[in-house]
Chains A and B, each alone.
Chain A
């Protein structure tokens, strides 16, 4: 079943994993997602191949950004009434502290969803949710292909 078909399913924990498994880049990063009540918790397990600074060691900043962007897109799909695959328009990332080689989490919220565009904010943290490693904001185009 293709990703376009899969996103029509209710986003329970098992479905989220199916979605991630359909995206080669999400598999490469080793991302995972779970439901927490009605919220989704995204998880990036530590992996040596994701290291940017070998002496700390710390995750590559770009990887943290990519994980957050993927989290934002999947969160959006899970919350849409008529899911379509979102296209990222732009992505703005604030790095707050270096991300060490340990479990990284992300949580997202849809700040505004219009008919064509959604604004999603994403927070990533490691040990303490109140001390985020990075915050980001993404705009996604969510128009159905035949209505663009």
Chain B
């Protein structure tokens, strides 16, 4: 199978984002795609604050962003056809916190894909990807391939 082009990946990620009510509500959006790596952005919002005295976002919101980013980065892997992939597990190390008022970004990529299992790693960051606030690893199981004809042919979701 031909790997998806950058344009097709962009379309697919935007489409998937639109089908996920929770993160659509939180305005989680595609930030960039670079090769096998995908970056999403979670805008700062008061509802997600963990400690009102500091205004710092709750770590649970970082969990949501990382789960979404690592899960969707399976689509960006050129090594393997996009498939329906339930999450097996996710582990997050919290290295720091994002300053109040700042958007959070998460970058994920598949570092090993076998026929049945995707091993994914990623991190969340705020001001610079060199200063991660959290690191994550997780595994996703490939259940069935997704028919991608509509992604290749669709004219929607290009932005």
Contacts and interface: CB of A to CB of B under 8 A. Distances in A.
A23 B55 CA distance: 10
A60 B50 contact: no
Given A49-B25, A60-B67, A89 B93 contact: yes
A25 B64 contact: no
A62 B20 contact: no
Interface stretch (B41-49, B74-82, B108-116, B150-158): B41-49
B49 A25 contact: yes
Interface in B1-35: 19-23, 25
A49 B64 CA distance: 13
B99 interface: no
A93 B20 contact: no
A85 B89 CA distance: 27
B149 interface: no
B131 interface: no
Contacts of A52: 20-23
Contacts of B20: 51-54, 60
A3 interface: yes
Contact of B59 (A22, A51, A91): A91
Nearest to A29: B60
Interface stretch (A10-18, A64-72, A102-110, A124-132): A64-72
Contact of A65 (B25, B52, B63, B86): B63
A117 interface: no
A59 to B, nearest CB: 8
A54 B19 contact: yes
A2 interface: yes
A46 B75 CA distance: 29
A116 interface: no
Contacts of A85: 51
Contacts of B21: 48-49, 51-52, 54
A94 B89 contact: yes
Interface of A: 2-4, 22-25, 27-29, 48-55, 59-63, 65-67, 69-70, 85, 87-95, 98
Interface of B: 19-23, 25, 46-53, 57-61, 63-68, 71, 86-94
